[in-house]
Amino acid sequence: MDLGAERIIRRLNEAGYEAYAVGGCVRDALMGSEPHDWDITTSAVPETVKRLFSHTFDTGIEHGTVTVLSSGAAYEVTTFRIDGVYTDHRRPDSVTFAGSLYEDVARRDFTINAMAYHPDKGLIDYFDGQGDLKRKLIRCVGDPMKRFDEDALRMLRAVRFSAKLGFAIDSATWKAIVRLSDTIADVSKERILDEVTKTLVSDHPERLLLAETSGLAGEFCEEFKEKGVLEFEKLGLVRASRELRFAMLMRHMVPERAGAALRELKADNALRKGTVRLLEHIHDPLPKDEVSMRRLMHDAGRDLIPDLLDLRLAAEVDTEAGSKEAHALFALQKDMPVTLADLAVSGRDVIAQGVTLGKDVGECLEYLLNEVIKDPEKNTSDQLKQESKRWKTRKETLILPKTAEN
């Protein structure tokens, strides 16, 4: 077991308290994968935990959690808990500190997440989590109807763990999800998006389909109600980036609707804009030459191109051969000037050439950029200064006859 976690457990034991590693870390360790963090559950109350360790900070003291630094890593140490009354199928109204490990693990969602481990006592598994790990099953601790009624988010967590681990959902647990799916509407969008995102970036993202077949998806997002807008197959063909997987999921939605769906789910701007930008260019003609590649880099954004090409290939917009050529084309063009910032001249240089009107400066720079995209050799200060002079003359001769008419 992890050294830092073991030290904390032993220190708490020496002071006369019970302490165990619990939850996801025990599950992951039993499955042979390295846990990304170790959570500790203890009979000591937060004040005691803070007194026993020199480096602590309050993370969720109202939930009984104190973060302890040990062996250079951070550990969440939480007092044995019983969740209080649940109203509205959301988080408990209050939490009470429980008397025992049993009570603490009994409030946890699934049997595989309700196991505890002690360096001397070994595994403590009240609900046969180990059996379910072997059977590859997501199964509620206790009566699924009751557990989902307490906290509807657990239904989506079942889908998330099914996707993360490649496990099936136990039939009683699944039936309860189908019956109670409409109650997911009571859960905050932030918590929902978090689980959907974790499902999408998992090893089995196509299992998000379970959120649709159970009726969950249509309840948490109005935009997802319509059948056929979400595409679950092939999600795993693109790398596990949130934007790419969301774009793959919503590849048959127009960008505006995908954006609206993400807005409804309270997605942050980076996620929403990144996904929409991918979808905006999913059907653009595939660049066949250097100039059209540079245009796409200008329009879509240089950094987006590799992901965009991968998305288009996975969505079968492009052929494998076409996609490969476009990747090669990008590799050659990736450092070419395609934005105003890449130009060898600035607004000030253009003004010095006599382009003085505010809106003309921008227009002239856009013109220069277009010239440079067509021919990057032109991107020298001298050539572009000459070019802005020519632009100015042409602009004046074009405008003059007009003003004469008026």
Q: How far is the CB of 63 from ligand ATP (least distance, A)?
A: 11
| Residue 313, number of CB atoms within 10 A of its CB | 19
Residues 6+ apart with CB under 8 A from 1: 21, 29, 117, 119
Residues 114-133 interacting with Mg ion (rule: CB under 5 A): none
Closest-CA residue to 185 (of 207, 216, 150): 216
Residue 312 touches which of Mg ion, ligand ATP, none (CB < 5 to 8 A by kind)? none
Residue 318 touches which of Mg ion, ligand ATP, none (CB < 5 to 8 A by kind)? none
Radius of gyration of the chain from its Cα atoms, rounded to whole angstroms: 29
Nearest-CB residue to Mg ion? 24
For Mg ion, how many residues bind (rule: CB under 5 A)?
1
Nearest-CB residue to ligand ATP? 24
By beta-carbon proximity to ligand ATP, the closer residue of 195 and 318 is 195
Residue 144 touches which of Mg ion, ligand ATP, none (CB < 5 to 8 A by kind)? none
By beta-carbon proximity to ligand ATP, the closer residue of 81 and 312 is 81
Residues 6+ apart with CB under 8 A from 286: 312, 317, 318, 322, 323, 326
By beta-carbon proximity to Mg ion, the closer residue of 37 and 363 is 37
Coil, helix or strand at residue 16: coil
Residue 153 touches which of Mg ion, ligand ATP, none (CB < 5 to 8 A by kind)? ligand ATP
Q: How far is the CB of 169 from Mg ion (least distance, A)?
A: 20
Alpha-carbon distance of 86 to 192, in angstroms, equals 18
By beta-carbon proximity to Mg ion, the closer residue of 78 and 183 is 78
Alpha-carbon distance of 221 to 223, in angstroms, equals 5
Residue 141 touches which of Mg ion, ligand ATP, none (CB < 5 to 8 A by kind)? none
C-alpha 96: how far from chain center? 32
Contact 112, 161 (CB under 8 A): yes
By beta-carbon proximity to ligand ATP, the closer residue of 205 and 287 is 205
Alpha-carbon distance of 361 to 163, in angstroms, equals 53
For residues 16 to 35, the per-residue mask of contacts with Mg ion, x marking binding by CB under 5 A and - elsewhere, is: --------x-----------
By beta-carbon proximity to ligand ATP, the closer residue of 214 and 388 is 214
Alpha-carbon distance of 5 to 216, in angstroms, equals 37
Coarse DSSP helix, strand, coil percentages of the chain, rounded to the nearest 5 percent: 60, 10, 30
Tokens 């490969």, residue located: 324
By beta-carbon proximity to ligand ATP, the closer residue of 24 and 218 is 24
By beta-carbon proximity to Mg ion, the closer residue of 36 and 348 is 36
By beta-carbon proximity to ligand ATP, the closer residue of 187 and 279 is 187
Q: DSSP class of residue 119?
A: T
Q: How far is the CB of 161 from Mg ion (least distance, A)?
A: 11
Contact 45, 85 (CB under 8 A): no
Closest-CA residue to 76 (of 49, 107, 112): 49
Q: How far is the CB of 42 from Mg ion (least distance, A)?
A: 17
Residue 109 touches which of Mg ion, ligand ATP, none (CB < 5 to 8 A by kind)? ligand ATP
Tokens 């019956």, residue located: 179
Q: How far is the CB of 76 from Mg ion (least distance, A)?
A: 9
Coil, helix or strand at residue 140: strand
Footprint of ligand ATP on this chain (CB under 6 A)? Answer: 23-24, 108-109, 113-114, 151, 153-154
DSSP letters, 218-248, are HHH-GGG-STTS---TTGGGS-S-HHHHHHH
Q: How far is the CB of 80 from ligand ATP (least distance, A)?
A: 13
Regarding 259 and contact with Mg ion (CB under 5 A), the answer is: no
By beta-carbon proximity to Mg ion, the closer residue of 157 and 298 is 157
Q: How far is the CB of 109 from ligand ATP (least distance, A)?
A: 4
Q: How far is the CB of 26 from Mg ion (least distance, A)?
A: 11
Q: How far is the CB of 32 from ligand ATP (least distance, A)?
A: 14
C-alpha 218: how far from chain center? 20
Closest-CA residue to 246 (of 214, 205, 211, 218): 205
Q: How far is the CB of 281 from ligand ATP (least distance, A)?
A: 32
Give residues in contact with Mg ion (CB under 5 A). Answer: 24
